[in-house]
Amino acid sequence: MATVATPITQEYAGGTIARAQVGLWRDGFRRLRRNRLALAALIYLTVLLAVAILAIFWTPYNPATILPDTLTYLGPSGAHPLGTDDLGRDLLSRMMQGAQISLIVGVGTSAIVLGVGVVVGLIAGYFRGWIDNVISVFINIFYGIPGILIAIILYLVLGRGLGNIMIAISATAWMDMARLVRGQAFSIREREYIEAARASGARSGKILFGHILPNALGPIIVQATFVIPIAILTEAFLSYLGLGIPSPLASWGSIASEGYQALPLEPYMMLWPAVALSVTLLAFNFLGDGLRDAFDPRQRR
Amino acid sequence: MTDPILDVRNLSTHFFTDDGEVKAVRGVSFNVARGETVGIVGESGCGKSVTAMSVLGLVQRPGKVVNGEIMFKGRDLLKLTKEELRNIRGRDIAMIFQDPLSSMNPVLRVGYQIEEAMHAHNKIADAQIDARTIDLLKQVRVSDPERRVHDFPHQFSGGMRQRAMIAMGLSNKPDLLIADEPTTALDVTVQAQILELLRDLNEQTGAAIVLITHNLGVVAGLCKRVIVMYAGEIVEEGTVEQIFESPQHPYTWSLLRSVPRIDASRRERLLSIEGLPPDLIELPVGCKFNPRCPFRIERCFVDAPPTEEVAPMQRAACWVTMKTAYAEMGAADIKDTSPGAASGVHPRGRQALPEAEVTATVAESVGD
Amino acid sequence: MTDTIVHIVPTPVPSTEPLLRVVNVVKHFSAAGTGSVKAVDGVTFDVMAGETVGLVGESGCGKSTLGRLISQLIPVTSGEVILDGVDITKLRGEKLRQQRKQLQMIFQDPYASLDPRMTVGDIIAEPLVNFNMISGKAKDARVQELLRTVGLNPYFNNRYPHEFSGGQRQRIGIARALALNPKVIICDEPVSALDVSIQAQIINLLEDLQREFNLTYLFIAHDLSVVRHISNRVMVMYLGRLCEVAPSEDLYESQDHPYTRALLSSIPVPDPRIESKRRLVELSGEIPSPLNPPSGCLFHTRCPIAQVPGVCADVVPPLELKPDGHLASCHFSDQVRTKIKIEEAPA
């Protein structure tokens, strides 16, 4: 005859976790890894970063040194893998320096945009009311004016220099970020866990930076990634016009500018910066696309 | 059962997800007679909705019916072509879902959508469609149907939208109506009206109704037979009286005692089934209810119990069954119908409080 | 907390002064252009220490809004909420924040009420952190203690909400509400989003916690069976006003408001014999739009015994004491049981 076993002694009535699942970030990175293009982009950018860091300590030749043998407009060779420029300076070294400039401008601008845009957006989106009205009106006024135009004008006013380029570019780029963050704050503030935070006595600052910001990070990171190629391109453009980084510092844009004159003679001088810019901009865009797809909450199971 | 209209045999539907193979429905067999009202009861994840979707061929990737036969009027629905299935769906078998707002196209008028259902199947003559649409709205008790026919879905309230969905479902005079949680999203007064409507329609039109729900009260009011599902399997099946008065599977028994009743005369503690349903990807061996079952024995951990007849027309899949459990614990009567008797006998063998003690304590507490 | 023997839930010892007093609370939302929605239109009631008061009603009745008004998550348009002698509607800023230690809330959606980016331990500890109450090891100890109290493994504190089931998340929400040792907890549909068997777990947990910590509950839900089970008294709400207030023991036997009676006749009972004998009270029409509420008694447009034209359409019935001890707002409460049939006559 069947006997009734001892009753349930479950130590915790709530039970064990049904299935331990991967964390949110790990889930995103897993999806990112599957995106071949984004992965290739990430690898390329890592290599570029390594080169730029290396360039702080060592380049094959001093990028500013005019070689005594006056070997100008040389094509690629053993001694100069990328050739030399119109003044006989080694192009590989100058390109490496250019990588430094591009990355500094790109990431630096993105950092400024993040700092300003996120704070303004959070405040506008969470508090709403008159603060939001003022901020929104301000942003809407400047939204119609092309960013590059303002960047150029501002840069001319501020004077030449790496820092000033970053300030000039971020002067309009922060507004896009602020808009995005404002929208995120708008929707997140309606969620129940924000109400719960208020009910448990959280102050506004804690809610903004402890709850809303962490939950808006996905789109913010993606947007920040897209700011970088815009900044790089703008700086290259300014340098190409001769307005940007002062020589003898080498920026990809200024190398291209110098190479324009030599185009019929020696195409390499313009080729290298053109390729480098194109690939780098593409890489950042692919990475941004990949990040956006990876962290899209709708795609999560 | 003589010539059931729907005969599901050994149906299994699995979902092939990134995390693994979710065995949502395993070996489910049941049938529905003509004009019968059957309720499929279970909690979320038990497979009741997936079963209904499988019958109508609506299971989407990554889900797939991996085994079984679904006999409808002599034909196996799983062997039909897409075209043949499309003909049956909406004409001979109709389905209504939980959320009527998303089931209807917001930019088309309600009358048009009902007519569309009839046009698609050519069972009703074209000339009669307009009149029938208004008739149908009358039948589902939408007031002022001549005017309402021209309204858009957002102009209808939740209850009215569900009625319109029922009208759409019935428009082609189906033999079978499958209703998946049709009243869960509605207020309780509206729910009661819809259920009464379904009851009346079942009598008037003779369409069989399969009602899928987690609400035991709804089933008690509408259905003649009840099927109880847990973790992808049928654990018990019987007439509505049998299931509610003498449930044989411990899950059914526990479920009935964990639901607060409006008519309970004493405020007793609810029986709570500790723990959680099993993982459908890595299913445990033996009976799937075993870690939570108050009456489990050693065998339950090893062998999955087959479905066996425990009374005329009643089947349960359990090694112990409540008959045995009661016998072991010395309770006199299994047919315990008085409200509040729910917790009279506790799985751990303690007896109910003696009547006198109970009345005394109740009298004290009513003093506020 | 494993399930134990059958027993009667003991009645709390009534104290003399109510712990929570809600006095004529009104909330109007202005709808863009078209006027204002009277979500809550003058609600008054008391809650004594240690009791559970249930608030029930269908969608649009204003019960959730009332819950948020009492916890001051949204401001009142007018009226007072007096918690332990202090009118919290008059408080602002830091003073209001400090009051939150006394009154906590449990939310409906277990999937939305926990921040998905925080660990469970941080979520539960947040109330304590917000008030700088404890830190470091003492904080961890308290979190583990709370997890144990609500029936969860105390070593779950490093996990994230998405790793838990609905019922487990609701337990986490309850642990969070307990962190500050509040006197009153407002439960806003705490079990509506849960499976039936899990509902019983959470209801039992709430009852146990009430006894253990001497809590006072305002239990808001649309399921009258659940509300009646857990509450000492039940308040029925319709379109922003209270229809009836009655002890839960009485509510099934006797009603003084037609809406209450209709509600009871609609609730399905898991018993086929009883179901076959019941008769549904038909309410005519739909719930009126809160933008344009009816005159006089709000329920008169749908009431089976309304006298229209007459007092029901002209005069707002006050919420007053009826002979059987219930409070009800109906001009003809004496006719509710006689004229509205909810059972078929026995054969």
Ranges in chain A, pLDDT < 50 = 1-10, 18, 299-301
The pLDDT of residue A58 is: 80
Residue B347 to residue A15, Cβ atoms within 8 A? no
The pLDDT of residue C346 is: 58
For A235, half-sphere exposure in the C-beta direction (CA atoms, 13 angstrom radius) is: 37
Residue C163 to residue A21, Cβ atoms within 8 A? yes
The pLDDT of residue A21 is: 53
pLDDT at residue B247 greater than cutoff 70 = yes
Residue A227 lies in a domain: yes
Residue A7 to residue B325, Cβ atoms within 8 A? no
Domain holding A232, by residue range, is 105-301
The ipTM estimated for the assembled molecules is 0.85
Residue A118 lies in a domain: yes
Please state the domain count of chain A.
1
Residue A26 lies in a domain: no
The pLDDT of residue A238 is: 84
- The three-state DSSP-derived secondary structure of chain B is CCCCCEEEEEEEEEEEECCEEEEEEEEEEEEECCCCEEEEECCCCCCHHHHHHHHCCCCCCCEEEEEEEEEECCEEHHHCCHHHHHHHECCCEEEECCCHHHHCCCCCCHHHHHHHHHHHHCCCCHHHHHHHHHHHHHHCCCCCHHHHCCCCHHHCCHHHHHHHHHHHHHCCCCCEEEEECCCCCCCHHHHHHHHHHHHHHHHHHCCEEEEEECCHHHHHHHCCEEEEEECCEEEEEEEHHHHHHCCCCHHHHHHHHCCCCCCCCCCECCCCCCCCCCCCCCCCCCCCCHHHCCCCCHHHHCCCCCCEEEECCEEECCCCHHHHHHHHHCCCCCCCCCCCHHHCCCCCCCCCCCHHHHHHHHHHHCCC
pLDDT digits (tens, 9 = 90+) for B33-73: 999 999 999 998 899 999 999 998 888 888 999 999 999 98
Q: Which of A81-85, B15-19, B305-309 has the lowest mean pLDDT?
A: A81-85
> Regarding predicted confidence, which is higher, B256 or C2?
B256
Residue B279 to residue A18, Cβ atoms within 8 A? yes
Extract the tokens encoding C287: 């719930």
Within 8 A of B329 by CB-CB distance, chain A residues are 4
Of A13, A21, A199, which is closest to C162 when you measure between CB atoms?
A: A21
The pLDDT of residue A16 is: 57
The pLDDT of residue B368 is: 27
Residue A17 to residue C150, Cβ atoms within 8 A? no
Map residue A154 onto helix, strand or coil.
helix
Closest CA to C118 of A210, A298, A186: A210
Structural domains in chain B, CATH included, are 4-223 (3.40.50.300), 259-367 (no CATH)
Task: Please state whether the peptide bond connecting residue B347 to the residue before it is cis, i.e. omega within 30 degrees of 0.
Answer: no
Task: Taking the CA atoms of C326, C330, C331 and C336 in sequence, report the sign of the dihedral they define.
Answer: negative
Q: Name the DSSP class of C91.
A: -
pLDDT at residue B102 greater than cutoff 90 = no
User: Which of A191, A198, A200 best probes binding to C when mutated, by most C CB atoms within 10 angstroms?
Assistant: A200
State the distance between the two ends of chain B, measured CA to CA, in whole angstroms: 55
Residue A192 lies in a domain: yes
Q: Which residue of B has its CA nearest to C267?
A: B188
User: Which of C88, C119, C130, C134 best probes binding to A when mutated, by most A CB atoms within 10 angstroms?
Assistant: C130
pLDDT digits (tens, 9 = 90+) for B126-140: 778 888 889 899 888
pLDDT at residue B91 greater than cutoff 60 = yes
Of C59, C247, C271, which is closest to B187 when you measure between CB atoms?
A: C59
Looking at the DSSP bridge assignments, the partners of residue C184 are: C103, C216
Contacts of C121 (CB under 8 A, 6+ apart): C140, C143, C157, C158
The pLDDT of residue A69 is: 61
Residue A40 lies in a domain: no
| Contacting subunits of A (3+ beta carbon pairs below 8 A) | B, C
Ranges in chain C, pLDDT < 70 = 1-15, 345-347
The pLDDT of residue C328 is: 94
State the distance between the two ends of chain A, measured CA to CA, in whole angstroms: 47
Q: In CATH, what number is assigned to the domain containing residue A149?
A: 1.10.3720.10
Residue A171 lies in a domain: yes
* Top-ranked range on mean pLDDT: pick from A118-132, B75-89, B273-287: A118-132
Within 8 A of C148 by CB-CB distance, chain A residues are 12
Contacts of B309 (CB under 8 A, 6+ apart): B315
User: Which of B274, B281, B293 best probes binding to A when mutated, by most A CB atoms within 10 angstroms?
Assistant: B274
- DSSP assignments along C319-333, one per residue: -EE-TTS-EE--TTG
Instruction: Round to whole Å and give the CA distance between B133 and B139.
Output: 10
Looking at the DSSP bridge assignments, the partners of residue B302 are: none
Q: Which residue of C has its CA nearest to A12?
A: C151
Of A8, A192, A203, which is closest to C113 when you measure between CB atoms?
A: A192
State the distance between the two ends of chain C, measured CA to CA, in whole angstroms: 47
The pLDDT of residue C219 is: 96
The pLDDT of residue C92 is: 87
Chain C interface includes A18 (CB < 8 A) = yes
The pLDDT of residue A24 is: 60
Q: What is the mean pLDDT of chain B?
A: 83
User: Which of A1, A3, A4, A17 best probes binding to B when mutated, by most B CB atoms within 10 angstroms?
Assistant: A4
Query: Phi and psi at residue B349, in whole multiples of 5°?
Result: 90, 0
Chain C interface includes A70 (CB < 8 A) = no
Contacts of C18 (CB under 8 A, 6+ apart): C46, C47, C48, C49
Extract the tokens encoding C54: 């249930």
